[in-house]
Every structure is written in C-alpha cells, then in structure tokens.
Amino acid sequence: MLNDLKVSDILFYLGLASIFFWALAKSLGIIHSPTWQKMLPYFGAVFTAGVGWNRFMHLEKRVGKMVNGLMNVEKEVQNVSHRLGLFQEEVHHQFKVVEKRLDGVEKKLSI
C-alpha cells in the first residue's frame, strides 16, 4: 500500500491529521495561541481541501479514460459479434451444401 501512495496522498492525510490533532489539543486546553496561530487550522483545512480537489480531478480523468476504453471494448465486442454471426451463417450454408451432397450420394447408392 505504501508503494501506491503519492505526494498528494501524503499531503492530504498529513493535513487531515494536523487538523484533527490541533482540534483535540485545543479542546483539551493544551493550546493557548495568538490569533494568527488560531487561523492555521483553517489554512490547513483549505490546503487539504485543495489537495482533495486535485485528487478528485485526477480520479475524474482516470474514470474518463476508462469510459473511453470501455466504449472501445464495446465496439470490438459488437464487431466480433457481427463476425461470429457471419461465420455462423457460412457454417450453416456449408452444412446445407454437405447435406445436399450426402443426399445425392445416398440416392446413387440407393440407401
């Protein structure tokens, strides 16, 4: 799993963790900070949301590529299905030809 993590994933989870630990420490009264430091979690939240949005857009692109790939697969399946139908018709036709020839042989042999 660690091999699959990207920089954006790490930043996203670090942002979430920092907001969580700040809120926990603030609620326990551990953090007594000036106004500019009180704003840091909000900046972290905005940063985390930005990274999350980036991940979402990347996912949207990947889904778009997969949809295009599936459309190509669908076209290929339709093509194979059409070719299979033609093959079945040809086999059926050849079967009829062989059947007629066997009927002729049976008549000549008087079976």
Flag whether pLDDT at 1 surpasses 80: no
pLDDT of 111 reads 61
Per-residue pLDDT reduced to its tens digit, 91-106: 999 999 999 998 888 8
pLDDT of 48 reads 82
Distance between terminal CA atoms of the chain?
Answer: 74
Per-residue pLDDT reduced to its tens digit, 49-94: 888 888 888 888 999 999 999 999 999 999 999 999 999 999 999 9
pTM of the model as a whole = 0.45
DSSP summary character for residue 67: H
Q: In the chain, what are the domain boundaries?
A: 2-109
